[in-house]
Structure formats: structure tokens, C-alpha cells
Amino acid sequence: MEAPSNTTLAELTSSDALGGLTGRVIAPNDAAYDQARAVYYGGIDKRPGAIARVANVADVQRVIATARDGGYELAVRSGGHSIAGHSTTNGGIVLDLRAMSKVEIDPTDRSAWVETGATALAVTEAAGKHGLVVGFGDSGSVGVGGITLGGGIGFLVRKFGLTIDSVLAAEVVTADGRRLRIDAEHHPDLFWAIRGGGGNFGVVTRLRFRLHELPQFTGGILVLPATPETITGFVAAATNAPEELSAIGNIMPAPPLPFLPSEMHGKLVIFGMLAFVGGHRSAEPALAPFRSLAAPIADLVKAMPYAEMYPPEDPNARPAAVGRTLFVDGIDQPLAETIVDYLSTSDAAVRVAQLRVLGGAVARVAPGATAYAHRSKPMLVNVAAFYNGPEDRAVRAAWVAQFARTVQPDDAGAYVGFLGDEGAARVRSAYPDATWHRLTRIKSTYDPTNLFRLNQNIPPAPLDGDRAQSRDA
């Protein structure tokens, strides 16, 4: 929705509404505007009417009230990594949480309160100082807010489960401006919904995590030549490994990285990311099956601090990508051949089939326990290609769509955290029926007007009266 014409957002920023924030309001005429409106993905170039960089809960309440009462589109941003571009808006207000990034570790209690504008790396480093950890994803710059509310599938997923499996409590500001402290006893329905239901139910300002002990860690990059045999072998090794080990296999042309021989650049490889909860001696038996698949092109797997799994990132990188996320039951030889064939025929500078073996602690949680219900799915695959601009976007999107259909012809569900801007049917397939219906009912309790709709949207369930009316019509 564009800003209403009677009161412009520029006027609002200087009025009592947004002007009274403790944090900062960045308007289009501000020198910091272009930097502030940028999100992780290139190709998403929206111009918000105002960016409200909130400093505290009172600011969050004020921004929510301004958007609600003024009819402005509201985008909620933690780390800005939304694949669908949901954390920005044309003409509306961005509620930007990145200045709310306090991380408070309680080593005695092994827990942490984290403001949702913190990054995964910041929490990992802070917890790591105490030999503790909570698992996020494979990117250090991702925001704690976005990744946690979607579920959170990362390097430690088989040992410690999804990120949401370590959430003990949260603080949420709802559409009506209430500040709620929620956990298994307080607003349990809302607590259930935010663990997988995304940003549909309010602005989550803080999360309390259980931290896990991680006195020793072994992990890093293992690069192998990609053939149908090494791909199926990699998946078998990851599936059969003890759950201390989680593996991500990126099947892709080798990037021109200094630790890869130049003659390998551009050749198809398995760019593996291996993570083992334990020291290098106990890791050896779990790592050996990967190392024996082929002579490694690079083997950087070693005992190290877990935070080193997140390499330094270029803060100005703005990759433009199209992708599709899928669940599969496994990778057999014909499917591995298909993956090699597809990746060999495209000429996109970056193209990838990312294979993540799940199971372990993820599968031990009952499907109905959280809004992430795909607990028994053994594997997740992401297919993606980078594009340069509007001129090649359609070609890359068509390649991704066809590749994804070949890998998974059925609607086998989706992980909401990896969905792009793919339409209502794909959001629906992220949630089995019982989960979806419960989510829509909770949505109608906490956000009946769908103020929080710039997300993988779960619309409010129609009230009983509405249902009767539409039956009569």
C-alpha cells in the first residue's frame, strides 16, 4: 500500500508519531537513506517512505501504532536477508530492528536473552566465549529475528535441532500494541505460532535461548569433485553419520577462491561444509567416509572455534538470485546424474544445488509441537542461480523452475525460511493442514486485520460470523 495522500510520511517523521522515537527515523531526503534502505539481496530496490530504526520496545509500539492507524504498509527488518524482499517496502514504513541487538549470556543458567536485531555471528561469538552455542544457519550476517521465526536450519541441526528448538521464551509486540512475554505457560498458542510461523503475529523484540555446551568443535570446508557417485556418497555419509555431524553439500562450479587450485575454478565440485560437535579425534571416524569419496580438492576441516564456520562477509555484496527450496526423501544415482546434468548446462556465474541432510534432533520433536511441522523430512534441497540484471533474470528463473520440478515433481512441502516471493500456494505448502488451520486461528486472535502481511503471509481465519455470511451469499 502506498502512503495515504492526506498525510505524507515525510510529515509523519517530524510529527509526534515517528518524530518522538528514541531511535532514529531515516527519511528519503536523509544522507543515510540509500545505505539504510539496502537489503541483502540485489534486485530488490524499494524506496520506503520512512525507515524507523527503533531503539526500544516503546519505539516498536509507536511505529506499529503509526502504521496501523495511518494505513501504511509495514515492513519488519532484523538482518535484512529476506529472500522474498519482505523487509522493505515501497512508500511504507520499515521497522528496522538492527540497533536492537543486545546479547545477554547467562553462563550459569546456560541461556541467553537476545534482541532480534542481533546477527547470528554476534550471538555465536558471545556464547562461544563461554563454550556455549545456539545453532543458526550458514550465514553469520543473517538476523536472529528472521531466521528464528522461520525455524532455523543450520550447521548444528542434527545435534541440537532447529533454532526454534532452543527457544525458551520471547517478547512480542502485537498489532494492538501490547507487549507480551510468552513461553510454554504464557500465551502458549502464540509461543507455538512464532516457532515456524514467521513474522505474522507481531514484532518479536527479544528471544530467550537455551544454550548448549560446545567445549570442542571440528569443522570447515571439504571440497570434492562432483560426480553422481560422489554426490550419492556424500549424502550417504551424512545420513549415516552420528548426529554430532551435520553436513551441507553445495554442488556448484568451484568458485575462484585462493585455497582452490586455479585449474579447478569453474569445475563442478561438492563444496561441503562439515560441522562436528566434538574434538578432532572423535570427529575422525565420522569424517573418514567423506574424505574417502575422492581425493579432496581442499580439506580445511579442523578443530576450531565454532564461530569460524562463519567466514568474513563483504557487507556491500548484493547478490541477485533466484531459487527454489524443496524437501526430498534422498538422492539416488539417477537424481545425482540429473543434478550434474543441470548444473553442467547452465552458464550462470553462480549456480548451485544445495543438499542438507536433516534428521537427528529435528526429527525427535513431534510435528505438532511447533509451527515448523516437517519434522520427518530427511533432506532439504535448495536450487539457485545468480543473475546479472533484468536481461537474464527470466532465463535463470526458468532454469531454476525446471531444475526444481525435475528434482521434486510433487508438492512435498517447503521450508518457509527459504521461500522467495512465490505466491500463496507455496506458503500454504510450507504448513500441513492442521498446522495451517491452527496458525490462521491464532493469526485472527493476534492480528485480525493482517497488519503484519508483508511476509510469507498467513491470513487470519474468517470469524464464524464471516463464514456464515459467505455461505449465505
Stretch that binds ligand FAD, among 21-29, 80-88, 269-277, 282-290 (CB under 6 A): 80-88
Q: Which is nearer to ligand FAD, 264 or 458 (CB)?
A: 458
Q: How far apart are CA 47 and CA 276, in angstroms?
A: 43
Q: How far apart are CA 102 and CA 97, in angstroms?
A: 11
Dihedral in degrees, nearest 10, Cα atoms 20, 24, 26, 27:
10
Tell me the closest approach of the beta carbon of residue 357 to ligand FAD, in angstroms. Answer: 13
Among 78, 216, 246, 408, binds ligand FAD (CB under 6 A): 78
Q: Which is nearer to ligand FAD, 1 or 294 (CB)?
A: 1
Tell me the closest approach of the beta carbon of residue 82 to ligand FAD, in angstroms. Answer: 3
Residues, the chain, total? 473
Q: Are strands 212-213 and 167-173 parallel, antiparallel or unpaired?
A: unpaired
Q: Which is nearer to ligand FAD, 61 or 139 (CB)?
A: 139
Stretch that binds ligand FAD, among 14-22, 72-80, 276-284, 459-467 (CB under 6 A): 72-80
Assess contact for 192 and 179: CB atoms under 8 A.
Answer: no
Q: How far apart are CA 156 and CA 154, in angstroms?
A: 6
Among 97, 134, 169, 269, binds ligand FAD (CB under 6 A): 97
Dihedral sign for Cα 422, 255, 252, 402, please. Answer: positive
Burial track 188-198 (b if 16+ CB lie within 10 A, e otherwise): eebbbbbbbbb
Among 37, 53, 62, 77, binds ligand FAD (CB under 6 A): 77
Q: Please name the residue ranges forming H helices in 241-360.
A: 280-291, 333-345
Question: If you compute the radius of gyration of the chain from its CA atoms, what whole number of angstroms results?
Answer: 22
Cβ-based neighbour number of residue 129 at 10 Å: 11
Q: Where are the beta strands (DSSP E) in 174-237?
A: 179-183, 203-210, 212-213, 217-225
Residues 126-185 that bind ligand FAD (CB under 6 A): 137-139, 142-143, 145-147, 149-154
Residues 196-235 that bind ligand FAD (CB under 6 A): 198-199, 203-204
- The cell for 43 is 534486485
Place of cell 553462480: 350
Residues 426-455 that bind ligand FAD (CB under 6 A): 455
Tell me the closest approach of the beta carbon of residue 467 to ligand FAD, in angstroms. Answer: 27
Q: Which residue is nearest to ligand FAD (CB)?
A: 146
* Binding characters for ligand FAD, 15-54, by CB under 6 A (x = yes): -------------------------x--------------
Stretch that binds ligand FAD, among 77-85, 302-310, 404-412, 422-430 (CB under 6 A): 77-85
Stretch that binds ligand FAD, among 30-38, 76-84, 181-189, 298-306 (CB under 6 A): 76-84
Q: What is the DSSP letter of 208?
A: E
Q: How far apart are CA 26 and CA 30, in angstroms?
A: 6
Judged by CB under 6 A, does residue 118 bind ligand FAD? no
Would you tell me which residues interact with ligand FAD (CB under 6 A)? 40, 76-83, 86-87, 97, 116, 137-139, 142-143, 145-147, 149-154, 198-199, 203-204, 417-418, 455
